[in-house]
Structure 1
Amino acid sequence: MAVRKRDPLTGHQTTGHEWDGITELNTRVPRSIWFFVFVTHLWALIVWILLPTWPLVSTYTRGLLGIDQRDEVQADIVQANAVRSDWASRVEALPVADILADPGLMVPVRDTAHQLFGDNCAGCHGADAAGGPAFPSLVDGDWLWGGDAETVMETLRVGINADHPETRVSQMLAFGRDGILGRDDIRTVVDYVQSLSGTPLSPERTAAGAAIFAENCASCHGADAHGSRDLGAPNLTDDIWLYGGDDASMFTTVHDGRQGWMPTWEHRLTDTERKILAVHLQDLQRGAAP
């Protein structure tokens, strides 16, 4: 057996490896490392015995302590509901105006509403509820069926063009695609509608557009174009546009039609949660008011 060389400074044997004049020492693993290895293995063994750890075919090892995380989560839910029940019962009983007027009650309502809105509504309407193309703003006061709390709660309950038997239904006809109006008539009525919110238009084109509007559009949007909340038809005079108010967007709207959609939340959110969201929207509008 070959005798390994020893380092003259430390007395440790060398491995025989040398690189650029540097010799590798064959030093022992420090005792502190062995101590930590032993402790961690001992701790792992204790955890295996005491806690749920190993999966089996249809179950898992329960451990001597019998801890079940499902039970712990359920206990946390029960505790959270108990804490919430006091103010939630007040939300159920009070009118929305009284809730908004109670600063103490609005603290948990705002916290809960922020989470509810973020989980269920922000994906379409935006985190700030300002909406976007094809998704309405919920803070501008412009509502198809009305923005009071009771109406909003009902809209949340049944949805819009949803699969709920009582859903709100609204659809813009495809006047061009279905051959109701020609392209020139569509351009004329688009110009007329734009003029209602301030875009200048000649008297001749105004008269032509008004005639087309009266014959094809007034039945839903009203003779004054202020819309109908019974039909979910928007106001066309306020310069607020769900799909855009420029020439191209409006031509597409009239030519191809539009049909928005919102799911029913009756089976996902409780009555109280829908009321909290309605209060939240009232609160946002109140904060956005000049």
Structure 2
Amino acid sequence: MSEEHIDEVSGVSTTSHEWDGIRELNNPLPRWWITIFYVTIVWAIGYTIAYPAWPLLHSATTGVLGYSSRNDVKNELAAAEAAKSKYLAAVKSKSVSEIESDDALREFAIAAGGAAFKVNCMQCHGSGAEGSKGFPNLNDDDWLWGGKAEQIQQTITHGIRFAADPDTRLSEMPDFGDIITADEIQQVSAYVVSLSGKVADASLIQPGAKVFSDNCVACHGENAEGNREFGAPNLTDAIWLYGAGEAAVAAQVRGPKEGVMPAWLGRLGEIKVKELAVYVHSLGGGE
């Protein structure tokens, strides 16, 4: 048996093991630490007996307390559905205006509508509803069919130029490339752009005004401020769906693009359509 060795620096005995001249001090763990360690072992064993723990071939031990985290989640979801049901019933029974006049119900509808927007609408209108070329910005004050909550609901419900819905929003701009001359298209494009900006050749504005008066006022109005009954855009606000500038306007006059929006009532149901209408109306551009 080897003789006990005392470390000269610390005065603590070593384990008598030596590796390349290095000796390990014989410092046992504190008794309190060892006690806690054994307590945790006992606790772990007790836990695996009380709660589900040990995996079996097709399941796991259920534990003597019969606890199930799945049941907890199921109960929480049931409680959430019960709490939500009263709001859903209220949304179903009220108009969008009545929903907006109720603070709690409006907040619920905005939250639910925002979630529905991200799933169904952001692909075209963008995650922030800012739109893109050919897809309207829902944050501004420019509305083809009206920006009141009920008008927005109508548009979402029946869509725009959606052939499967007989009540869809419907309007068509003629292909003026087959009706007026190329010079007249250039003139009327210059006139339209001049209503909100500068044009390359100001001499085209006056003859363009006459072309507009002869062909366009029936839908866009004498002041070119549009007509929501027909979905005819306001041409004086410098907001352009298919691009700004004389060339873009001329292209639209010559061969107009006609956007299509699905009718969402059959896909989402009345409640979700109302929630979407309230959400879109809340974005800031709604009237």
TM-score w.r.t. structure 2 length?
Answer: 0.69
1:172 aligns with 2:184: no
What stretches of structure 1 of length at least 5 have no aligned partner? 1-41, 51-68
1:234 aligns with 2:246: no
Instruction: Give the number of equivalent residue pairs.
Output: 228
| 1:112-155 superposed Cα distances (whole Å, 9 cap, x missing partner) | 11110001111111111111100001111211111111111111
How far is the alpha carbon of 1:80 from its aligned partner? 4.9
How far is the alpha carbon of 1:267 from its aligned partner? 0.6
The change in CA–CA distance for 1:200 and 1:251 in structure 2 (over 3 A counts) is closer
1:277 aligns with 2:276: yes
How far is the alpha carbon of 1:266 from its aligned partner? 1.4
| 1:164-223 superposed Cα distances (whole Å, 9 cap, x missing partner) | 0111112222211xx212222111110000111132687743220011111111111111
Match of 2:57 in 1: 45
CA distance in 2, matches of 1:270, 1:76: 26
Task: Give yes or no for contact 2:106–2:278 (8 Å, CA) kept in 1.
Answer: no
Match of 1:196 in 2: 195
The change in CA–CA distance for 1:263 and 1:46 in structure 2 (over 3 A counts) is closer
Matches within 5 A, 1:205-216: 205-216=204-215
1:245 aligns with 2:244: yes
How far is the alpha carbon of 1:226 from its aligned partner? 1.0
The change in CA–CA distance for 1:240 and 1:111 in structure 2 (over 3 A counts) is same
What stretches of structure 2 of length at least 5 have no aligned partner? 1-53, 63-69
Q: RMSD over aligned Cα, in angstroms? A: 3.2
Match of 2:130 in 1: 130
Match of 1:151 in 2: 151
What is the identity, as a one-letter code, of the residue corresponding to 1:195? S
What is the identity, as a one-letter code, of the residue corresponding to 1:151? Q
Match of 1:220 in 2: 219
What is the identity, as a one-letter code, of the residue corresponding to 1:131? G
Task: Give yes or no for contact 1:158–1:265 (8 Å, CA) kept in 2.
Answer: yes
Match of 2:266 in 1: 267
Match of 2:89 in 1: 89
What is the identity, as a one-letter code, of the residue corresponding to 1:139? N
Task: Give yes or no for contact 2:149–2:278 (8 Å, CA) kept in 1.
Answer: yes
Task: Give yes or no for contact 2:156–2:265 (8 Å, CA) kept in 1.
Answer: yes
How far is the alpha carbon of 1:258 from its aligned partner? 1.6
1:104 aligns with 2:104: yes
Which secondary structure does the structure 1 equivalent of 2:150 belong to? helix
What is the identity, as a one-letter code, of the residue corresponding to 1:127? S
TM-score w.r.t. structure 1 length?
Answer: 0.69
Match of 2:26 in 1: none
What is the identity, as a one-letter code, of the residue corresponding to 1:198? G
